[in-house]
Structure 1
Amino acid sequence: MRIENTAAIVTGGASGLGAATAAALVKQGAKVFALDLPGSIEKAPETAGITYVPTDVTDGDEVRAAVTAAASSGVPLRTVVNCAGIGPSMRILGKKGVHDLGLYAKIVQVNLIGSFNVLALASEAIAQTGADENGQRGVIVNTASIAAYEGQVGQAAYASSKGGIVGLTLPAARDLAQYGIRVCTIAPGIVETPMLATVSEEFRAGLAAGVPFPQRLAAPEEYAKLALAIIDHDYLNGETIRMDGALRMAPR
């Protein structure tokens, strides 16, 4: 699907995977609307072609307003990439007691329900655009994690939320097929994001050593490259693609 002279929404677009994807889409000629929390947007550099929209992905009214802005930009809204997410960890039963139910609910709310909220409201707007010569109207790319398959100790909530994204992919693709909208998911392994910036080089080296090949952490730009490949490849639909260097996570 063509990206040039279209609009794109990227959630979590002020940093990490989202920022790299927003930049890659701009280079392809898209008008990008980067949705993120106000605190993250304040730290993001101003970039030509990217409009930052303060948005909580779990808030229906805020997401609808952001989608309306993208759909009213003068070019058709074609692309959505859901990168917004959080990853706190806690054991189901640990030294401090039982897993906090509020924390579990928050992680699922942001990672899974937030992604669904954006997918649903954006697909409504995309469905109202004219189709291209192949009957296509848009592509939605969600972000899971290899934790959806091999969640580690302390990742019960995170793995649940990302497993939900994997489970959402095929039925979403089937639901939206009649509107010419494809849905795919990327399940990254260990990526060099701001979340890892606080840990030591020694710790990062240990993580990289566990990756079969290439024996390093992934770069956010590699996620962006895969997202663009999915957008470009018209026959990819309803699929979750691992991007992990053949890594299979150990229990801890």
Structure 2
Amino acid sequence: MKLEGCGVLIAGGGSGLGLESAKLLRSRGAQVGVLDLEKGDWDGPYAQADVADEDAVGRAFDALSAETGTIRVLLNTTGIGHSGLSAGPDRKVTAAGFRRTLEVNTLGSFILAQAMAERLIGSQPDEHAERGVIVNTSSIVAFEGQIGTAAYAAAKGGINAMTLPLAREFARYGIRVVAIAPGIFETPMFSKARGPMVDWLRDQVIFPNRPGDAVEFAEMVAHICRNRMLNGTVIRLDGAYRVPPGQHDWWVD
């Protein structure tokens, strides 16, 4: 998929990994629109929507495509967490919190992918019979969830699990589906965190021995767009970091 002149929608593009990806893809000639609850620091086409709201997502797609042209690249970087112990006297996780985590991370990813595919089916493919590419954001926690991350791990695991089935289904339309599972990245949320646990985490990436930079995530997105053989897979982007099991007192106030 050529980025020059290509319509791109980035869900969660108001900040963090999504914002950096929006900037990089725009710098390479893409026509980028952002869907998010808040515009943040993004200075281009924007539509407000909760990704778990199917109607709102549909309206955002139509509004942004009017500015960017046919949307052929979808990147979803939205996500929320609901962390804490699941049972016992220090229990923090609730059914409502677990449900909302699934709604945003897993259901939201599906709603976006479905909206994208429905709008591309009747579009003109390129010279390689490709119509578009969908990139979802998972997490290495989906593979190695530590104590206190049952909801987040389940939600991101759902993204992993839907990647191949959607890629197989959408292949008939020339649409690829890929997921990126990032490790520790220096996003604004992580950069603002303080404490010995955060300091310890920053030192756990094997090589390079630091958290990832958001531009490195953005470069992976750009590469996925260009490389048509990347399809139906989940790519770890983690510097060989493996999440430890954690311990009980991480989640006790």
Category of TM-score, reference length = shorter chain: over 0.9
- Residue 64 of structure 1 pairs with residue 58 of structure 2: yes
- Residue 144 of structure 1 pairs with residue 107 of structure 2: no
2:21 counterpart letter in structure 1: T
Indicate the RMSD between aligned Cα atoms, in angstroms. 1.5
Which residue of 2 is the match for residue 14 of structure 1?
14
Cα deviation, residue 45, structure 1: 2.7
In structure 1, what is the Cα distance between the partners aligned to 2:112 and 2:171? Answer: 17
| Paired residue secondary structure (2:133) | strand
In structure 1, what is the Cα distance between the partners aligned to 2:243 and 2:96? Answer: 26
Deviates more, 1:191-200 or 1:153-162: 191-200
Q: Which stretches in structure 1 are left out of the alignment for 5+ residues?
A: none
User: 1:172 pairs with 162, 166, 176, which one?
Assistant: 166
Q: Is the 8 A contact 2:15 2:41 kept in 1?
A: no
Q: Which stretches in structure 2 are left out of the alignment for 5+ residues?
A: 247-253
In structure 2, what is the Cα distance between the partners aligned to 1:201 and 1:194? Answer: 16
Cα deviation, residue 194, structure 1: 2.1
Q: Is the 8 A contact 2:224 2:230 kept in 1?
A: yes
User: 1:115 pairs with 109, 112, 123, which one?
Assistant: 109
Q: Is the 8 A contact 2:31 2:68 kept in 1?
A: no
Q: Is the 8 A contact 1:141 1:183 kept in 2?
A: yes
User: 1:224 pairs with 218, 226, 231, which one?
Assistant: 218
1:26 counterpart letter in structure 2: R
Q: CA distance change for structure 1 residues 46 and 172 in 2, over 3 Å: closer, same or farther?
A: closer
Which residue of 2 is the match for residue 132 of structure 1?
126
| Paired residue secondary structure (1:3) | coil
Q: CA distance change for structure 1 residues 75 and 99 in 2, over 3 Å: closer, same or farther?
A: closer
Deviates more, 1:188-197 or 1:171-180: 188-197
Q: CA distance change for structure 1 residues 223 and 4 in 2, over 3 Å: closer, same or farther?
A: same
Percent identity at matched positions?
A: 40
| Paired residue secondary structure (1:218) | coil
Cα deviation, residue 88, structure 1: 2.5
TM-score, normalised via structure 1 length:
0.93
Q: Is the 8 A contact 1:144 1:162 kept in 2?
A: yes
Which residue of 1 is the match for residue 73 of structure 2?
79
2:4 counterpart letter in structure 1: E
In structure 2, what is the Cα distance between the partners aligned to 1:223 and 1:128? Answer: 31
